Amino acid sequence: MTDKYVLKIEGLNKIFSGFEALKNISLRVKKGEIVGLLGPNGAGKTTTIKIITGLLKADHGEVSLFGNKTSSAVEAEIKAKIGVVFEESNLYLRLSALDNLKLFANINGVKLNRVKTLLKEYELYEVRDKQVKNFSKGMKKRLMICRALLAEPELLIFDEATGGLDPISAEIIREKLLNLKKQGKTVLLSTHYLEEADRLCDKIAFVNNGRVIAFNTPNSFKDKISKNFLELQFSLQKDKISLDKLKIKLNRFIKNNESFKIDKRRFSILLFIDQYVFKRADQLCRDYQFMEVNREEANLQRVFKEINS
C-alpha cells in the first residue's frame, strides 16, 4: 500500500554542542501539497531540511520519505525522487549554464533533451553558453532549480526559494513553484516571507526556536484570527487633534495584539472581541467621529504576532 504522505517527520531533535536547535519537530506533507516552513532567522528551518535530505543526522526522531524510513544516509533510490534547491549556490561559477546542467545530467543519466527543455522553460536558453559567474542572483536561482529538476523528482525542497531576490525575480520563481504544483509535484519550502507562504502554500508550519508552534492552512489561521477582532473606523478632523497626540492616545488604548492605522482623513482600530469590546467601542465613539465597523480581513502578519505572543 502506498503512503499518502510523501514526507513524514516525527519528533526531530538536533543538538549542536549543547545548543538544542530542533526540539521535537513533527510534520506531514501529502502528495501534491506545497508546505511552507515559515520562521525567523535561526528558527531551525535549514537544519530540518538538512536532516530530511540526509546532510545532517538527527539526535532523535524519524524521517520517512515516500513511505520509507530513512537513516542518516538517504538511499540512492529515494534520493533520485528528491530535488533540493539550497540557499547558497551549488553551481560551478566558471562553467556555462549549459555545461553545469550537462555535468549533473551525466552524473544522473539524464538526456541532453531534458537539459534543453529546462533551460527554455526557465528562460535561460539564450544565455546557456555564458559563464554562471556573470549571472544575476535570479538567474542563478533559476539554474539551481533546473539542476534540481533534471531527474524529474517527485518532491522538491527549497531552502529560501526567493531569499535575496528582487521582487520581479522572486515573482518568477513563485510562478514556477505554482506550476510545479500543477504538475503534481510535492513541494517543501522554507521562507521568511509571510505573504509568500500565504500565496503559495497549502499548509504552513510556523517554526520558532526549533519548534513547530502551529501547522495549518493559511485560511484557517486567518479565519481564527479574523473572528476574534472587530475593526472600527473613525473620521479624522485634523484641526481637533494632532496626529502625534492621537497616536499616543491610541497606543494607550490598545491591548496586546490589537493595533491601529492612521491615514490622512481617518483611522482604524482593531479591538479584540471579548466582554469589554462594546464598552470600549462606545468609549471611542464618544471621542471620535464613528464611520463604520468591519470584520477584520486578517493577514498572516497578525497570525504570526498572535502565535508568537
Binding-site ranges for ligand ATP (CB under 6 A): 16, 19, 21, 39, 41-47
Please spell the DSSP secondary structure of the chain, one letter per residue.
Answer: ---SEEEEEEEEEEEETTEEEEEEEEEEEETT-EEEEE--TTSSHHHHHHHHTTSS--SEEEEEETTEEE-SS--HHHHTTEEEE-SS--S-TTSBHHHHHHHHHHHHT--HHHHHHHHHHTT-STTTTSBGGGS-HHHHHHHHHHHHHTT--SEEEEESTTTT--HHHHHHHHHHHHHHHHTT-EEEEEES-HHHHHHH-SEEEEEETTEEEEEE-HHHHHHHHHTTEEEEEEE--TTTS-HHHHHHHHHHH--TT-EEEE-SSEEEEEEE-STTHHHHHHHHHHHSEEEEEEE----HHHHHHHHH-
CB 140 to ligand ATP: min, Å? 18
Handedness of CA 145, 115, 31, 25 (dihedral sign): negative
Q: Which is nearer to ligand ATP, 47 or 70 (CB)?
A: 47
CB 56 to ligand ATP: min, Å? 8
CB 39 to ligand ATP: min, Å? 5
Q: Which is nearer to ligand ATP, 208 or 259 (CB)?
A: 208
- The C-alpha cell of 227 is what? 473572528
CB 136 to ligand ATP: min, Å? 21
Q: Which is nearer to ligand ATP, 30 or 50 (CB)?
A: 50
Q: Which is nearer to ligand ATP, 66 or 158 (CB)?
A: 158
CB 48 to ligand ATP: min, Å? 7
Q: Which is nearer to ligand ATP, 57 or 240 (CB)?
A: 57
CB 199 to ligand ATP: min, Å? 19
Dist CA 150 CA 121 (whole Å):
12
Integer Rg of the chain from CA: 24
CB 213 to ligand ATP: min, Å? 13
Q: Which is nearer to ligand ATP, 8 or 45 (CB)?
A: 45
Q: Which is nearer to ligand ATP, 18 or 184 (CB)?
A: 18
CB 9 to ligand ATP: min, Å? 14
Q: Which is nearer to ligand ATP, 2 or 41 (CB)?
A: 41
